Copies of this chain bind each other. A is one copy, B any other.
Amino acid sequence: MTIRHAVTLSVGDELLAGETLDTHGRTIAAALAERGCRVLEHRVLGDDVANIAAAILAATASADLVVITGGLGPTLDDVSREALAEAMNEPLVEDATSRAHLETWYAGRGRVMPAGNVRQAMRPVSARCLENPNGTAPGLQARMGAALVVVLPGPPREMRPMLEGVLNEQLPGEPRPAIVIRAFGIGESDAAERIEPLMRRDQKLPVATTVSQSLLSARIRGNRPEDRELIESLAAQVEKAWHPYVFGRDDVTLPMALGAEIKEAGRTVATAESCTGGLVGSMLTEVPGSSGWYPGGWVVYENARKIEDLGVAAELIERDGAVSQSVISAMAEGARRRAGSDYGVSTSGVAGPDGGSADKPVGTVWIAVADEAGIDARCFHFPGGRSVIRDRTAKTALQLLRLRIRGDASDLLWQRDASS
């Protein structure tokens, strides 16, 4: 039987209480989309046996696959096991293999299994347990009429490998073709206008745009392997329309794209961060192998650090303030010189909530890139609260460096007059 339509359920009172962010809906949808299975709906439910059981039954009426995450833990508020048994109208029995796995797991860590944890070895009679190499809770897999129902543990590092095992078994074969174009530094409305004809609903494969965490994406999804050529042509049109803001496709992140380009160019970069406090360095070092092109950097939060560690002249700070063209330039050049790197990138701004003035309101940020040819220093005014301003600052610094490597001087979103 081919699996084409899924319903996903995330279980946990904490998800409906606003306590914990549900990320499984996205993770599972992405994995299913790649394999040509469409998620009809995602539901988030509380820890209630009757409600979960009813949702499982309803889902099996419309979907070939029902994936439930959460509620398999050792604590008393974990009831997904019981809910599946109720939906299947079957009793729970102890699974000998799972019981043995549980005992081995604890013994291997020199710990005694807490008494409550034995519940995790229970399964509905006709269901089977899915082995969990990364934790104590086994998953469950059962057939209900035409639908396959799978219950996976909540912790992501336990859920993901188990999900992959299920999908490899149940949805083998060629993934459905799709391309996602990733961009940063252009506004969503402007970007949409540039590709408006491609986005029309009457197109064979309409392009859809989204913005998440200030990153712009354009998604193009085919239905069959033969759509690949059209998708590629559409992707190329979007890339051209959004040039030079496009940094990659699919799972490529801005730090990964920058890392690949700087590595390709055989160059290195050092950082000098004030308002981002290490966020730029943290993003760069997300990239495996970044040690090849990132020697390190300085978090110069107080002015004394800017002066002592980067050689910024105290008089500049005194005269222009730490958030200024002169100081940001000296920071970028100081980092470059001290680290002996090809590029130096610096950030200094007013992230708020305090510290703003009429002249330099919260959101005012200077960013600079220094290299052997000189210094490109720009002033931005980022909207948002403290964490959004910091995140936008760090991403803009990465994109500014990326454009500098390519010799492109285009303006970026939220840039003020360069002379301000």
Contacts and interface: CB of A to CB of B under 8 A. Distances in A.
Most chain B Cβ neighbours within 10 Å, of A15, A16, A28, A211: A16
A16 B282 CA distance: 30
A259 interface: no
A210 B309 contact: no
Contacts of A185: none
Interface string A45-88: 10100000000000000000000000001111100000000000
A416 interface: no
A157 B383 contact: yes
A408 interface: no
Nearest to A288: B353
A17 interface: yes
Interface stretch (A18-26, A89-97, A229-237): A18-26
A19 B251 CA distance: 10
A286 B208 contact: no
A276 interface: yes
- Chain A interface residue bracket vs B: 35 or more
Given A26-B15, A75-B199, A296-B298, A354 B288 contact: yes
A334 to B, nearest CB: 13
A279 B23 CA distance: 22
B76 A199 contact: yes
Given A210-B14, A219-B19, A201 B278 contact: no
Contact of A45 (B41, B211, B339): B41
Task: Say whether chain A's binding surface is mostly helix, strand, loop, or mixed.
Answer: mixed
A180 interface: yes
Interface string A290-334: 110011111111101100010000000000000000000000000
Contact of A290 (B30, B209, B277): B277
A212 B18 contact: no
A69 to B, nearest CB: 13
A274 to B, nearest CB: 8
Interface in A249-285: 271, 273, 275-282, 284-285
B17 A30 contact: yes
A117 B273 CA distance: 38
Contacts of A273: 278, 281
B33 A29 contact: no
A73 B188 contact: yes
A361 interface: no
A42 interface: yes
8 contacts: A13-B208, A16-B29, A18-B32, A21-B21, A277-B290, A278-B279, A279-B282, A288-B352
Interface of A: 12-23, 25-33, 38-45, 47, 73-77, 114, 116-117, 134, 136, 155, 157, 180, 188-190, 192-193, 196, 199-201, 206, 208-212, 217, 219, 221, 271, 273, 275-282, 284-286, 288-291, 294-302, 304-305, 309, 339, 352-354, 383-388, 390
The 9 tightest CB contacts between A and B, nearest first, are A18-B30, A277-B285, A278-B281, A278-B278, A18-B29, A42-B44, A278-B282, A296-B305, A296-B301
